[in-house]
């Protein structure tokens, strides 16, 4: 276990705390836990690259920690009525579809590209921004000047585009017009 992997594991272990803080109405503390988790994502990546600590475990653990934190925050903020239920359903459904599609392709021995689409990277950035802006508004009292509302629609749009992009990629892969990377 490298230092980078320990940091990533710490991020993954912070998820239950972040959920509990939101459910307890402790939005300031939730903001700082999520902020620290986001910072740890940058730090573990930097350490892995600079200190040559890249590993197979880290390559698997990092996106799992990121997705676990984001999906958990979306679901929790939806459960307490802060994020709209339709958005939570859309985001979670897309992630379930991506994981399910990948598992089905693996089971069928069909290689598929695992690199994220550009629109998926934008979607993740917008999801992070939405969680940060929402917790910042609630926990720190920072005025968002309707940025949260704009981010909701940006997340929705990029979620739909990303989901459609993966469906197209998988269809091409199954048709033999796109090969695994």
Contacts of 100 (CB under 8 A, 6+ apart): none
Mean predicted confidence (pLDDT) in 145-167? 96
For position 108, which CATH number holds? 1.20.120.1760
The answer as to whether 97 is a domain residue is: yes
pLDDT, one tens digit per residue, over 101-149 is 878 877 777 666 667 889 998 999 999 999 999 999 999 999 999 999 9
The answer as to whether 30 is a domain residue is: yes
The answer as to whether 126 is a domain residue is: yes
The answer as to whether 181 is a domain residue is: no
- Kindly tell me if the per-residue pLDDT of 13 is higher than 70: yes
The answer as to whether 180 is a domain residue is: no
Give the pLDDT confidence score for residue 113 in this predicted structure: 65
Give the pLDDT confidence score for residue 181 in this predicted structure: 43
- Kindly tell me if the per-residue pLDDT of 165 is higher than 70: yes
The answer as to whether 61 is a domain residue is: yes
The answer as to whether 56 is a domain residue is: yes
Query: How far, CA to CA in Å, does 21 sit from each of 5, 80, 122, 124, 127?
Result: 25, 12, 27, 22, 19
What span, in angstroms and rounded, lies between the C-alpha atoms of 132 and 128?
A: 6
Torsion-angle region of residue 52: left (phi > 0), alpha (psi -120 to 50) or beta? left
Range of the domain at 13: 3-175
Euclidean distance between the first and final Cα of the chain, in Å? 27
Domains: count for the chain: 1
Q: Which one has a higher pLDDT value, 70 or 101? A: 70
What span, in angstroms and rounded, lies between the C-alpha atoms of 14 and 7?
A: 11
């Amino acid at each position: 276990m490298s230092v980078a992997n320990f940091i990533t594991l710490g991020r993954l272990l912070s998820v239950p705390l972040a959920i509990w803080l939101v459910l307890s109405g402790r939005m300031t503390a939730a903001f700082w836990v999520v902020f620290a988790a986001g910072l740890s994502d940058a730090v573990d990546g930097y350490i892995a690259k600079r200190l040559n600590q890249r590993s197979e475990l880290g390559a698997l653990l990092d996106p799992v920690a990121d997705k676990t934190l984001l999906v958990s925050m979306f679901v929790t903020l939806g459960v307490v009525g802060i994020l709209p239920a339709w958005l939570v359903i859309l985001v979670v459904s897309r992630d379930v579809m991506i994981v399910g599609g990948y598992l089905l392709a693996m089971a069928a021995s069909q290689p598929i590209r695992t690199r994220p689409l550009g629109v998926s990277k934008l979607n993740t950035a917008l999801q992070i921004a939405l969680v940060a802006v929402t917790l910042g508004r609630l926990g720190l009292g920072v005025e968002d000047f309707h940025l949260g509302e704009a981010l909701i629609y940006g997340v929705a749009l990029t979620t739909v585009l990303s989901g459609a992009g993966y469906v197209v990629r998988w269809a091409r892969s199954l048709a033999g017009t796109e090969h695994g990377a």
